[in-house]
Structure 1
Amino acid sequence: MAHIDICGKFGAELDKTVEMMVARGKGLLAADESTSTIGKRFEKIQLENIEANRQAYRELLFTAPKEYTQFISGVILYEETLFQSTLSGKAFAELLTESGVVPGIKLDLGVKELPGTDGETATQGLDDLEKRIQKYYARGARFAKWRAVYKVSDNGLPSQLCVAQNAETLARYAAICQQNGLVPIVEPEILVMEGSHNIETSLNVTKRVLASVFQALIQHNVNLNRIILKPNMVLPGNNSPTKAEDDKKIAEYTIDALTSTVPPAVRGIMFLSGGQSEQQAVETLNAINKVNAPKPWAISYSYGRALQDSTIRTWAGKKENVEAAQKAYLEQAKKCSLAAKGEL
């Protein structure tokens, strides 16, 4: 079978985007919380979930002192945010691009239950994907994100059906992105922290899921040089009886999962924080980068809460706190950057 170049005329541009995204010591800010998710964050600071407040919060992040661009290479946006502007009228996507930060877009439309499973899910959003990508590309987005979600348990979850369905969907999404000029972030998120399973179970499930995702990507002729993988770290369940001793193995088990399944063609692996605290997410990433093993990819972060928790609490929805909140954001981004180099 002849080699199929899925990226066509976008090849050089996709290479440039990946190059910018995986720059050493830089990671991604996941600011793509849906309207309901950002609402939960606002609830904690007693702030009303209206568009003006969502816009103000995102403006705070994107207009932080220029220094933040040393630590952040790209920002994942929600659709509403991609089409918003600063109060002075500059489109957020344009503002980011001018700062040397790549704007990206969350493309999946959330999860729906898979019939015939134990509450497992498949991700929605393929139907009009090409049309939506073209609209977002025109607005300035240059990469995308799609999240698949997997439950894990000692009694065999995720099921083979869930693993296969989500791998197929992630691969189709990635192929459509590359065909239309966006670098796909492939995010198979295993909810490893939920439950009483030990770290061995998390490791086995992570390997099984990643292996199936890469098999599907290759079948769909996705160019692996032009994707970013956004996986979970290999963590024990929060209620695992052996959690304390398992915690010492996280970095090595995570590297084991990656070296067993992720081809060296992939340029960047940017971890999700998966419910870890800001400090945990930094310490674990640092430990992973310190593991003495061949690591052919850039290993960095794509954090939402783990980059924003202190920022949003400091801001508390008040104009007079914007500067202090931006300072908190910078401090956390700098810690993440050091961890991405294993220099913490």
Structure 2
Amino acid sequence: MNLVEKIALGVLHRIDPEHSHSLALMAMKAGVVPMPGIVTSDRLRTSFCGMALSNPVGLAAGYDKNATVVDALTQAGFGFVEVGAVTPHPQPGNPKPRLFRLTEDQAVINRFGFNNEGMEAAAARLTRRSRRRPVPVGLNLGANKDSEDRAADYVRVFETCGPYVDFATVNVSSPNTEKLRDLQGADALRGLLSGVLAAREGQDKYTPIFLKIAPDLTDAELAKVAGVAQEVDVDAIIATNTTLSRDGLKSRYRAEAGGLSGPPLFEKSTRVLARLSELTDGTMPLIGVGGIASAEDAYQKIRAGASIVQLYSALAYKGLSLVEEIALGLDELLERDGFAHVADAVGTGRKDWL
């Protein structure tokens, strides 16, 4: 972290967290935030679900909900970027305050509730940027809170925005929309994924479809989710979203409702990741998310079974320079342990998490 970034973060942390995030997005859009561009090496370059990535470190959904700063984010050192979640109709989300910094825990609790400007606004922005992206850009699909057919919402968003993104994520694991996680049940999940995959057949290009799951599933529930994902032939699973657990927290905000992210999620999400890798015999491509704040964290996710990783919450504490720091640090760890390519390290430490 450079001095300017350290000062900027210090100022932003004195402001309401949702407002400070909006200011950070404005600064990125104005082009005043230094960006490293592409960060890569022979060890870091990899392919995932047909996408060529300069490195395996991506941005998780939620940072840029409305695809307003895609250009800047694709120059921030990430190997890939995911925007959204986006719903068919605009919606304000849950009442404020709905974002809390748990500074003592380096964590975040949010209960946004899929606040976004809707699929038409996102599609218009993604269309303008679709031909000049240096890294793949994907979209997190969501459902409106008041929808009578949430499964149909995911299809509608994909049909509208799918032509302009490199991958799409079916997000049924946010804890902030009532009963949304019920869609992780085997029958509901099968129907939902089948609908989105059928919609892909009607488009002019093949768009990888990912499934994002919760870290709070029981072993039996996780096995059913893995089975359905393999049955319908989803392209990859993202493990995991935020957690409802509050174990070991110190912050005065620890009792706030919403999804917890950051380091307290790391162990739980990594165990789910390793279990998924075991359940699918390492054949299902996995994306590791949850609590990544260093190169060592990213490396542990990869060794637990993830081919690529995503981060978000740590950026609130360490700034965007963390992206390059993690990618270059990961390169050093791979070299230290004798791996010629990041793909060679995937799953090599899975047994440590089971």
TM-score normalised by L of structure 2: 0.49
Could you say which structure has the higher helix fraction? 1
